[in-house]
Amino acid sequence: MRQTEASDAATRLAAVRETLARAAALAGRPADAVTLIAISKTIPADGIVPLLEAGQRAFGENRVQEAQVKWPALRDRYAGVVLHLVGQLQSNKVADAVALFDAIHSIDRSSLVQALGKALAASNRRPDCFLQVNIGDEPQKGGCAIAALPALLSEARAAGLPVVGLMAVPPADTEAAPYFALLAKLAKDHGLAQLSMGMSGDYETAAMLGATHVRVGTALFGGRQPA
C-alpha cells in the first residue's frame, strides 16, 4: 500500500462521512442515525486496511467465500469489525454466512428463510436480518415482490429470524428517491426500524429519506476491478 493510496482512502472516507452527516442534519436526524457500511467486495485486504486505520468498522461483502478468505485475519488485527452480507445468498452457504456475518441484508425467499432458521437454531449467532424487496418490480432482480413481503415477513418471524428491517436496490438510471420513500413506508407499515438503502450514487438522498444503513463502495474505494 503506497502512502498516497492510504491517504486517498482516508480522505474519501472523511468526505463521505461529512456528506452523510449533512444529509442527516437536513432531515433533522442525528449523524449517528445512519451507519456507513463500506462495501469492500473485490477489494483485497491491503486496500481495506487504510479504512480500518481511519476508524471505519462496518464493512459489507457480497460473496461468502471471498469474505471467508479476507476477513478472519483482518478481524484479528482490528477489534470491533461489523460485517454485513449484501449479496445474494445460496441456501447451501447459509451456515457459513451465519458463522461469519453480523448482518444479512439479502433475505428474499421462503427457502432461504427456512435454511436460515435452521442455521440459527444450530448456532448461537443472531445476525441482524434484513428482508430484501424488489422495490422497482424488475425482472431478474433480487428481492421479494412487494406483494409477497407480508407473507415472507411472517414466515421469517415464525422461523425465529431476528428481522430488523428492509433492504432494496432501486432501478438503475432513474431517480431513486421515490423508491427509497416507498421502502421507508413499507418498513413503517410493518413495524421495522431499520432501512438499508443508498449506494455511492444516492446515499445522500437515502440518508435524507430515513436510511439507517447506507452501502457505499466506489465512493470509498474508487473503481472496482471487474469481478
Ligand X SMILES: *Cc1c(COP(=O)(O)O)cnc(C)c1O
Cα–Cα dist 107/86, whole Å: 9
Q: Output phi, psi for 104, to 5 deg.
A: -125, 120
Could you say whether residue 86 binds ligand X (CB under 6 A)?
yes
Q: Which helix (H) or strand (E) holds 130?
A: strand 128-132
Could you say whether residue 169 binds ligand X (CB under 6 A)?
yes
Cα–Cα dist 161/127, whole Å: 8
Could you say whether residue 213 binds ligand X (CB under 6 A)?
no
Could you say whether residue 47 binds ligand X (CB under 6 A)?
no
Could you say whether residue 217 binds ligand X (CB under 6 A)?
yes
Could you say whether residue 103 binds ligand X (CB under 6 A)?
no
Could you say whether residue 41 binds ligand X (CB under 6 A)?
yes
Burial (CB count <10 Å: 0-12, 13-18, 19+), residue 189: exposed
Among 187, 199, 206, 208, binds ligand X (CB under 6 A): 199
Q: Shortest Cβ distance from residue 155 to ligand X (Å)?
A: 22
Could you say whether residue 171 binds ligand X (CB under 6 A)?
no
Cα–Cα dist 186/194, whole Å: 11
The stretch among 1-9, 17-25, 185-193, 214-222 that binds ligand X (CB under 6 A) is 214-222
Cα–Cα dist 51/8, whole Å: 10
Could you say whether residue 34 binds ligand X (CB under 6 A)?
no
The stretch among 5-13, 43-51, 122-130, 217-225 that binds ligand X (CB under 6 A) is 217-225
C-alpha neighbours within 13 Å on the C-beta side of residue 208: 11
Give residues in contact with ligand X (CB under 6 A). 39, 41, 62, 86-87, 169, 199-200, 215-219
